[in-house]
Amino acid sequence: MEQTIKFIGKIHSDLKKIEDCPLQENENAPAARLEIFPAYTEGIKNIAEGNKLVILTWLHQANREILKCHQRNEVGSEQLGVFSTRSPDRPNPIGLHTVTVIGIIDERMIKIMPIEVLDDTPVIDIKPLI
């Protein structure tokens, strides 16, 4: 079985450092641009302004060795198993983001909000929110 992930695009965000990122998108996360790589542009043909989407990202700066963490970075609190938290640090750092399309810039670029990821975060997949 092949065990690879193909990145279909990346996020262009004003968030440049991990410290700048809100913990969740509903905590004042900014708008960003989602760039689709040329090989995958046919896959976004029917996405329109106002659509609600689920974006799956690869949190490329995450610590993949973490199995326990403090919930919401509350150092001194009891550590929890990482799979019971939304921590980006985890063995497979896949981000799950619910966004709204606020504009179609061109055939490869979609403006979305809110999303709490760093600039240049790879995109794994896009799905409609049902």
* Domain ranges across the chain: 9-128
Backbone angles phi and psi of 44, in degrees to 5? -110, 15
pLDDT level of residue 88 (50, 70, 90 thresholds) = confident
Asked whether residue 12 carries a pLDDT value surpassing 70, the answer given is yes
Q: Does domain 9-128 have CATH number 3.30.1330.10?
A: no
Asked whether residue 52 carries a pLDDT value surpassing 90, the answer given is yes
Closest Cα partner for 41 from 115, 106, 101?
Answer: 106
pTM: 0.88
Asked whether residue 22 carries a pLDDT value surpassing 70, the answer given is no
Give the Cα separation of 57 and 54 in Å (integer).
10
* Residues in contact with 67: Cβ distance below 8 Å, sequence separation at least 6, in sequence order: 81, 82, 91
